[in-house]
């Protein structure tokens, strides 16, 4: 099973991908998480990656091609995976299509998560993450049990360096400029399943998860 999660930064792709990963027992591959691990090291590539993340800009395609190829070739991907944060450009869409074709595989579902912009900003500035196991919390809607500590591994929670109001605006711009085209591309091919998550309208991520699973199980019937 190969699932692609699309949607603007802060829309909840990470949280939803984690739930789907547990449900289908396939790995959650977040290019953002992989890049943050690279950025935390201390070599020339790490510094370059960190500078793009800090600007809220997309990391160049040559780095992304290598990174995604290596990750998709790891042994845990044998029964599929959930791609979160990749593809983000038409170049990456084409790269993924070629890669899957060469390996005789295909995408089973492409999910587009949507949330109103004001809610995205509010969610991002209230987001804290675990630097050890990548669990995601929200100080308003999904607090950790013990303040400041991860429920899963007890590590001290942190805010991502790109989760500030200014950087969110830059990331949303980058999303509109570069990623919106791929939403249109998949939509025109009739392959996109759109799901709204909106706390204010009572559309919770639990309901969204149910409708995604329903879609996946019924789409080929």
Q: Which residues bind ligand AMP (CB under 6 A)?
A: 9, 31-32, 35, 52-53, 56-59, 64, 85-86, 88, 92, 162, 171
> Rounded to an integer, what distance in angstroms lies between the CA atom of residue 80 and that of residue 5?
14
Decide whether 59 or 157 has the Cβ nearer to ligand AMP. Answer: 59
Q: Is 123 a catalytic residue?
A: no
Q: Kindly name the residue from 36, 50, 71, 127 that is annotated as catalytic.
A: 127
Show the tokens assigned to 110. Answer: 């492409």
Q: Kindly name the residue from 50, 88, 123, 167 that is annotated as catalytic.
A: 88
> Rounded to an integer, what distance in angstroms lies between the CA atom of residue 178 and that of residue 169?
14
Quote the DSSP letter at residue 11. Answer: S
Q: Is 71 a catalytic residue?
A: no
Question: How far out from the chain centre does Cα 138 lie?
Answer: 16
Q: What angle, rounded to 10 degrees, do the helices at 61-72 and 90-102 form?
A: 30
> Rounded to an integer, what distance in angstroms lies between the CA atom of residue 32 and that of residue 44?
18
Among 123, 119, 122, 120, smallest CA distance to 136 is for: 123
> Cβ of residue 216: shortest distance to ligand AMP, in angstroms?
22
Decide whether 96 or 150 has the Cβ nearer to ligand AMP. Answer: 96
Decide whether 125 or 210 has the Cβ nearer to ligand AMP. Answer: 125
> Cβ of residue 162: shortest distance to ligand AMP, in angstroms?
6
> Cβ of residue 220: shortest distance to ligand AMP, in angstroms?
27
> Cβ of residue 32: shortest distance to ligand AMP, in angstroms?
2
Q: Kindly name the residue from 13, 36, 71, 167 that is annotated as catalytic.
A: 13
Residue linked to tokens 């299509």: 97
Decide whether 92 or 205 has the Cβ nearer to ligand AMP. Answer: 92
Show the tokens assigned to 76. Answer: 């845990």
CB-CB contact of 81 with 108 (8 Å): no
Q: Is 36 a catalytic residue?
A: no
> Cβ of residue 106: shortest distance to ligand AMP, in angstroms?
20
Residue 131: Cβ-neighbour burial (10 angstroms; 0-12, 13-18, 19+): middle
Decide whether 136 or 213 has the Cβ nearer to ligand AMP. Answer: 136
Q: Is 127 a catalytic residue?
A: yes
Residue linked to tokens 């009739």: 190
Residue nearest ligand AMP, Cβ-based: 32
Q: Is 171 a catalytic residue?
A: yes
The set of catalytic residues is 13, 88, 127, 160, 171
């Amino acid at each position: 099973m190969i699932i692609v999660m699309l949607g603007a930064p802060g829309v909840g792709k990470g949280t939803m991908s984690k739930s789907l990963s547990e449900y289908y027992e396939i790995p959650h591959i977040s290019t953002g998480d992989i890049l943050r691990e690279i950025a935390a090291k201390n070599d020339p590539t790490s510094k370059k990656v960190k500078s793009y993340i800090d600007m809220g800009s997309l990391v160049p395609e040559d780095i992304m091609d290598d990174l995604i190829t290596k990750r998709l070739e790891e042994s845990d991907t044998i029964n599929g995976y959930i791609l979160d944060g990749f593809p983000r450009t038409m170049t990456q869409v084409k790269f993924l299509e070629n890669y899957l074709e060469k390996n005789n595989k295909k995408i089973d579902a492409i999910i587009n998560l949507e949330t109103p912009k004001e809610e995205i900003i509010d969610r991002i500035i209230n987001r804290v993450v675990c630097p050890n196991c990548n669990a995601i919390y929200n100080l308003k809607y999904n607090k950790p049990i013990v303040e400041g500590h991860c429920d899963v591994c007890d590590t001290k929670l942190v805010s991502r360096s790109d989760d500030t109001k200014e950087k969110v605006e830059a990331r949303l711009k980058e999303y509109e400029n570069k990623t919106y085209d791929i939403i249109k591309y998949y939509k025109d091919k009739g392959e996109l399943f759109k799901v709204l998550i909106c706390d204010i309208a009572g559309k919770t991520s639990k309901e969204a998860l149910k409708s995604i699973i329903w879609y996946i199980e019924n789409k080929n019937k």
